[in-house]
A and B are shown apart, each in its own frame.
Chain A
Amino acid sequence: MEFLGNIGLGFSVALSFTNIFYCFLGALLGTLVGVIPGLGVLAAISMLFPLTFHLEPTTALIMLAGIWYGTTYGGSTASILLNLPGTPANAVTCLDGFPMARQGRGGVALFMTTVASFFGASFGIILLTLFTPVIAEYALRFGSAEYFALMLMGLVAASTISEGSAIKGLAMMVLGIIIGLVGMDSQTATARFTFGSLGLLEGVSLIALAMGVFGVAEIIMSVRRVKATDIDPDSVRLKAIKPTRDDVRRSWMPMLRGSTMGSFFGTLPGTGPSIAAFLSYAVEKRLSKTPERFGKGAIEGIMAPEAANNSADQTAFIPTLSLGVPGSATMALMLGALMIHGIAPGPTLISDEPELFWGLIMSFWVGNVILLILNIPLIGVWVRMLTIPYNLLYPSVLMFICIGAYTASFSPLNVWMVFAFGALGYAMRIFRFPGAPLLLGFVLGPLMEEHFRRAMLLGRGDFMTFFDRPISAVIMALTGLILLWSVWGSEGVRQRRTDRASSARADQDPTKKSI
Chain B
Amino acid sequence: MYRFDYTDLAGGMLLFLIGAGVSLVSVGNYPLGTLQRMGPGMFPVILGVVLAALGVSLAVQALRRTGNRPDVRFFSPLFVLGGVMAFALTIVPFGLIPAIVSIVVISSLAELRIRPVSLVLLCIALSLMAPLVFVVGLGLPIPLVRWPF
Contact A419 B130 (CB under 8 A): no
How far is it, in angstroms, between the C-alpha of A29 and the C-alpha of B57 when the chains are bound?
42
B39:A188 contact, CB within 8 angstroms: yes
Where chain B touches its partner, the secondary structure class is helix
With A54-B138, A167-B61, A407-B142 in contact, do A419 and B88 touch (Cβ < 8 Å)?
A: yes
| Cβ–Cβ contact B103 & A399, under 8 A | yes
Say whether B98 faces chain A, with CB atoms less than 8 Å apart. Answer: no
Q: Does B92 contact A (CB under 8 A)?
A: yes
A491 x B61 contact (CB < 8 A): yes
Q: B18 to chain A: which residues have CB within 8 Å? A: 175, 178
Q: Does A312 contact B (CB under 8 A)?
A: no
Q: Which residues of A contact B8 (CB under 8 A)?
A: 431-432
Instruction: Please tell me which stretch of A8-16, A217-225, A233-241, A320-328 contacts chain B, meaning at least 4 of its Cβ atoms lie within 8 angstroms of it.
Output: A217-225
Contact B103 A433 (CB under 8 A): no
Q: Which residues of B contact A7 (CB under 8 A)?
A: none
Q: Which residues does chain A contribute within 8 Å of B87, judged by CB atoms?
A: 399, 402, 406, 415
A224 touching B55, Cβ below 8 Å: no
Whether a CB of chain A sits under 8 angstroms from the CB of B20 is: no
Q: Of A119-127, A454-462, A474-482, which binds chain B?
A: A454-462
Please state if B84 and A499 are interface contacts (CB–CB under 8 Å). Answer: no
Chain A contacts for B7, CB-based, 8 A: 430-432
Other than the given A216-B84, A395-B107, A460-B36, 6 more pairs (CB < 8 A) read A174-B47, A395-B103, A402-B84, A403-B96, A423-B77, A431-B14
Task: Determine whether the beta carbon of A216 is less than 8 Å from that of B80.
Answer: yes
What are 21 sample pairs from A and B whose C-beta atoms fall under 8 A apart?
A168-B11, A171-B15, A171-B58, A175-B18, A178-B47, A185-B30, A193-B44, A216-B80, A216-B84, A223-B110, A392-B122, A394-B107, A396-B126, A398-B104, A415-B87, A415-B91, A423-B81, A430-B71, A430-B72, A457-B37, A499-B66
Task: Give chain B nearest CB distance to A149 CB in angstroms.
Answer: 16
Given contacts A399-B130, A403-B134, are A461 and B118 in contact (CB under 8 A)?
no
In the assembly, what is the distance between CA of A394 and CA of B138, in Å? 23
Q: Are B65 and A167 in contact (CB under 8 A)?
A: no
Would you call the interface of chain A mostly helix, strand, loop, or mixed? helix
- Would you call B70 and A415 a contact (CB within 8 A)? no
Q: Which chain B residues lie closer than 8 Å to A430 at the CB level? A: 7, 70-72
Interface residues of A in 155-170 (CB under 8 A from B): 165, 167-168, 170
A456 touching B38 by the CB < 8 A rule?
yes
Q: A396-B126, A422-B80, A503-B68 are in contact. Are A407 and B36 (CB under 8 A)?
A: no
Residues of A within 8 A of B112 (CB): 224
In the complex, what distance in Å separates the CA atom of A153 from the CA atom of B41?
A: 24
Q: Which of B34, B48, B103 interacts with A178 by CB under 8 Å? A: B48
A387-416 vs B, CB cutoff 8 Å, 1 = contact: the mask equals 000011011101111110011001010011
B65 touches A499 (CB 8 A): yes
B80–A171 CB distance below 8 A: no
Give the nearest-CB partner of B101 in chain A. Answer: A399
Nearest residue, chain A, Cβ from B54: A171
Q: Please pick, from B51, B66, B76, the residue contacting A175 in the complex, using a CB distance under 8 A.
A: B51
Q: Is the CB of A224 within 8 A of B111?
A: yes
What is the CA–CA distance of A355 and B134 in the complex, to the nearest angstrom? 28
